[in-house]
Homo-oligomer: A and B are copies of this chain.
Amino acid sequence: MSIQITQIENRPIGIFDSGVGGLTVVKEIFRVLPYEEIVYLGDTARVPYGTKSSESVKRFSIENFEFLLRFNVKMVIVACNTASSTSLPILRNRFKIPIVGVIKPGAERAAGLTKNGKIGVIGTATTVKSKAYEKEIKRICKTVKIVSKACPLFVPLAEEGLLNGKITFDIAKYYLNPLVRKRIDTLVLGCTHYPLLKKVISRVVGKDVKIIDSASSVAEEVANTLRSNKLLSSESRKPANSFFATDAVEQFVKVGKRFLGKKISKVKKAILS
């Protein structure tokens, strides 16, 4: 009998999202931290979170977190804007491992990039209602003006793969024209689904508006957090990662490819309770 003892820093990083959107964050983690092992959970049985109450999203987030803890994760990334905007305080209070959300990295980058001090933020209804980005950006820089807009049709468009074309362009114009009229020079994509629509969004807001997809900032924040907690993996081989979904694993494989930019070989069904 062989007993395998994993060194504390070589344990996996847990990541959860309401569905496949968080895979845009995983893609960046792969790039920045290629030797970190990932355990990903997509809560596809209850997706979307963006139209649910913050009370329910908090409950879902705790259940997702507890599932990831079964894998002895060393930290957790809340790779969902709606969950980050509503549940980070309750998660930090309850669980004592490092937690990185997606709001702060995006907010910091936006505050650092704007020149005219006018930032647009788009996200789900619940994210926009939470004012999480406004609060975070204002904390960093008080003089900035923020214009927010919920774009509920962007998630189904991205999930359906309608990433280009006239319908998507018209819907983007419908949501974004009010922000263009306010002359924003920076736009935060406050939902992990939105990077898939970046081309169309960019066409609507114009090429002078800087578009911030927080995935790469999140990966940097994760690297910093691991470093400061002495938790960076000491491995020098690419690890085997695990992907779980609470429902429809075949659909996860199919749609997930668009978000991750490569095929996911295996997705297992997660039972949370």
Contacts and interface: CB of A to CB of B under 8 A. Distances in A.
This protein's copies in its complex: 2
A229 interface: no
Contacts of A174: 167
A52 B56 contact: no
A167 B175 CA distance: 12
A160 B152 contact: yes
A171 interface: yes
Interface in A75-109: none
Interface residues of A, number: 26
A159 interface: yes
A142 B53 CA distance: 46
A247 B125 CA distance: 14
A170 B174 CA distance: 13
Nearest to A59: B45
Nearest to A126: B248
Contacts of A51: 47, 159, 248, 251
A156 interface: yes
B167 A156 contact: no
Contacts of A153: 153, 156-157, 160, 162
Interface of A: 44-47, 51-53, 55-56, 152-153, 155-157, 159-160, 162, 166-167, 170-171, 174, 246-248, 251
Given A45-B52, A55-B247, A167-B174, 20 more contacts: A44-B52, A45-B56, A47-B51, A51-B251, A52-B247, A52-B248, A53-B248, A56-B247, A152-B156, A152-B159, A152-B160, A153-B153, A153-B157, A153-B160, A153-B162, A156-B156, A166-B170, A167-B167, A167-B170, A167-B171
13 contacts: A45-B52, A45-B56, A51-B251, A53-B248, A55-B247, A152-B159, A153-B153, A153-B157, A153-B160, A153-B162, A166-B170, A167-B170, A170-B170
In the A-B complex, the 8 residue pairs with the smallest Cβ-Cβ separation, listed nearest first, are A53-B248, A56-B247, A156-B156, A53-B247, A45-B56, A52-B247, A167-B170, A46-B46
